[in-house]
Amino acid sequence: MKKIILGVFFVLALGCKREEPKLPSMEQEVQILASDEFKGRETGTDEELRAAAYIRELMLGIGLTPKGNAGTYYQTFTFKPKKDPHQLIRFQEGGDSTITGTNVIGFIDHGAANTVVIGAHYDHLGFGGEGSLYKGEPAVHNGADDNASGVAVLLDLARKIEGAELSKNYLFITFSGEEMGLLGSNFFTKNPTMDLDGVSYMLNLDMVGRLREDKTLSVSGTGTSPIWPQVLNTSNPGFKLVFNESGVGPSDHTSFYLHDIPVLHFFTGQHEDYHKPTDDAEKLNYEGMRLISSYMFNLVKELDDDQKLAFRKTKNESEEVPRFKVALGVVPDYLFDGKGMRIDGISEDKPAQKAGLQKGDIVVRLGDSTVVDMMSYMRALSAFEPGDSTTVSVKRNDQTLKAPIIF
């Protein structure tokens, strides 16, 4: 990706008239955040700090006031990387071998009793590392969809809300450390820069840049408040909504749910560029991002009555996920709501590719188990050991095909 000079797109006349600052478009924001200059925005790097400074300037230009530490837009946290993947991260003051992440926080203060939190992580994987699905030499993982897209939609929402006559307060947070385990949101909820008791609900944006032609939009956390299904459907301008009730998931809304705050997490689906160097700005659906921003703005307006939403605990579906000793080597289509498990991508040199499976195939049987949805697929897969052989049945167009699989 070509390098982008930040000053081309962003001019804030500090010290001059600020009535109409020139702010970049969504496309320009993503192009900047997902440019090679930021080297993948890995937590704790100079490039992540530069990305944080860029977001700070955007928040300032929109008119958000600082809500970080000591009157700044920044909330920093320091931790030591874990050696054991099952070990909990412990935040600390500093020392040898520590990493410092930086949340960027802006605020619209209407003097209300309740506040809405809108969040999106801005960190990514740098040159790859542990979270990468890329098998080649180290390369910049630009993270356009994951999650420059979420940051751009958050900032667009901030512009809309700042210019509207609303009553609640609105807190906008771009989190650091999400890719390392939701660290920035975890730290914020344990060290909030405002009273969490006054938070009405939290909206999270993570990977919202690949809206498909059928406008399928995943919304998780719909069981965390009784009002969510009704208001989501009432405000829906035409999305094909896929609801998941659980408040626990692999993004920053989880940290708020664990503090008894109603949450919603918006997501347009997995794809073959996920956690790879090919997740670039030119592949995003910017019109889709604008549609999501408008939908969320209408949702916010619908709920702007200064009443704190009722919280409800949900079933933690992650506790029921089986553990695997083998992998089929596919990227599931998490937005598919038909019968079976639709394949959204195939990994090279894995059992699925060797068996001739293709993107778009729908797995309906694995071994002796019928596959009707994602959970039944995972249960079926968990029964196999390395070296086992079985068969997989898939629907492809109007045919049902059967192929041998060796794990």
Q: What residue ranges do the domains of the chain occupy?
A: 10-302, 322-406
Give the relative orientation of helices 286-302 and 149-162 as an angle to the nearest 10 degrees.
Answer: 40
Mean pLDDT, range 193-211, rounded to an integer: 97
CA distance 76 to 63: 22
As a whole number, the mean pLDDT across the chain is 90
- Go through 89-112 and write b for each residue having 16 or more CB atoms within 10 A of its CB, e for each that does not: beeeeeeeeebbbbbbbbbbeeeb
Say which CATH class 322-406 falls into. Answer: mainly beta
CA distance 113 to 272: 44
pTM, full prediction: 0.83
Of 161-175, 254-268, 301-315, the poorest mean pLDDT is in 301-315
CB-based burial label for 5 (10 Å; 0-12, 13-18, 19+):
exposed
Q: pLDDT: is 160 or 383 the higher one?
A: 160
Instruction: Give residue 21's pLDDT.
Output: 57
Are 104 and 68 in contact by the 8 Å Cβ rule? The answer is yes
Q: State pLDDT tens for residues 303-330.
A: 998 689 999 999 765 555 567 889 898 8
- Does 263 have pLDDT greater than 60? yes
Distances (CA, A) of 101 to 58, 72, 181, 287, 400: 19, 15, 12, 31, 50
10-302 against 322-406: fold identical:
no
CA distance 384 to 388: 6
Strand partners, 392: 366, 403
- Residue 334's pLDDT band (cuts 50, 70, 90): confident
363: phi then psi, degrees, rounded to nearest 5:
-75, 120
Beta strands 99-108 and 216-220 are unpaired
Q: State pLDDT tens for residues 36-71.
A: 999 999 999 999 999 999 999 999 999 999 999 999
Mean pLDDT, range 87-92, rounded to an integer: 63
Q: What is the DSSP code string of 224-263?
A: SSTTHHHHHHHH-SS-EEEEE--S--SSTHHHHHTTT--E
Which CATH superfamily is 10-302 part of? Zn peptidases (3.40.630.10)
Joined tokens for residue 371: 């596959």
Of 109-118, 155-164, 206-215, 346-355, the poorest mean pLDDT is in 346-355
Joined tokens for residue 198: 């006054």
